[in-house]
A and B are shown apart, each in its own frame.
Chain A
């Protein structure tokens, strides 16, 4: 699976959009971009995934660049409960192993 690079940490103001970048320059054509997060003392939680088109669900939006070498997870209106470690994972469609890296520790501040 392609390797991903994420910033170690970032802060966000409550109520503002949080934009989380992820680089995956070696991504293959059949690899998807997944985002999970882990809130303290809980198990990881699926957020969203995409292949090449931008995706949106009730939690977030995923913007993938045209060359697919990077993506951005957008939390439109961050709340204190969004404080968590966010993981960007690249995986083939028929793969089941999730390779969690170090992720980005996002702290939402009031």
Chain B
């Protein structure tokens, strides 16, 4: 069974540009989560999808971040325009059910904003 995949693995962009990160969850997992670790900080929750619906986006830092999950399959996280402080590693995770289930994480996308 394929795990959670993320694309790209690395992205280097200039401040002010737009970047879109993609996450493909494990097939059949309705729950999809985005987390990120910015430099020197702890891994923080960003948002949670159940199928195509956003259940909780309380961790999204500001309106420059837009997450979508059309059709309840893969998800994208767009940063527009990117700022220097957005640099970090963005992780996607999925789970079959919410709550007392393990979350399966992807390898992450390392974003560098210059």
Contact of B33 among A38, A96, A99, A101 (CB under 8 A): A96
Complex contact B31–A96 (CB within 8 A): yes
- Binary flags per residue of B46-75, CB closer than 8 Å to A gives 1, else 0: 001000000110010000000000000000
Query: B1 an interface residue at 8 Å Cβ cutoff?
Result: no
Q: Which of B31, B35, B43, B106 has the most CB of A within 10 A?
A: B43
- Binary flags per residue of A28-49, CB closer than 8 Å to B gives 1, else 0: 0000100000100111111001
Complex contact A102–B107 (CB within 8 A): no
Number of B residues with CB within 8 Å of any CB on chain A: 25
Contact of A98 among B56, B103, B108 (CB under 8 A): B103
Q: How far is the CA of A32 from the CA of B102 in the complex (A)?
A: 12
Least CB separation from A45: chain B residue:
B105
Query: B93 an interface residue at 8 Å Cβ cutoff?
Result: yes
If A98-B45, A101-B42 touch, whether A42 touches B107 (CB-CB below 8 Å) is yes
Chain A residues lying within 8 Å of B95, measured Cβ to Cβ, are 96
Interface residues of B in 30-47 (CB under 8 A from A): 31, 33, 35, 42-45
Interface residues of A in 78-110 (CB under 8 A from B): 92-102
Complex contact B35–A98 (CB within 8 A): yes
Q: How far is the CA of A41 from the CA of B89 in the complex (A)?
A: 10
If A32-B100, A95-B99, A96-B31 touch, whether A44 touches B42 (CB-CB below 8 Å) is no
Chain B residues lying within 8 Å of A94, measured Cβ to Cβ, are 98-100
Q: How far is the CA of A100 from the CA of B31 in the complex (A)?
A: 19
User: B residues bordering A, Cβ < 8 Å?
Assistant: 4, 31, 33, 35, 42-45, 48, 55-56, 59, 91, 93, 95, 98-100, 102-108
5 chain-A/chain-B pairs, Cβ below 8 angstroms: A43-B91, A44-B103, A94-B99, A97-B59, A98-B103
Given contacts A42-B107, A49-B100, A96-B98, 10 further A-B contacts (CB under 8 A): A41-B107, A43-B91, A43-B106, A45-B105, A92-B99, A96-B31, A96-B55, A96-B56, A98-B43, A100-B43
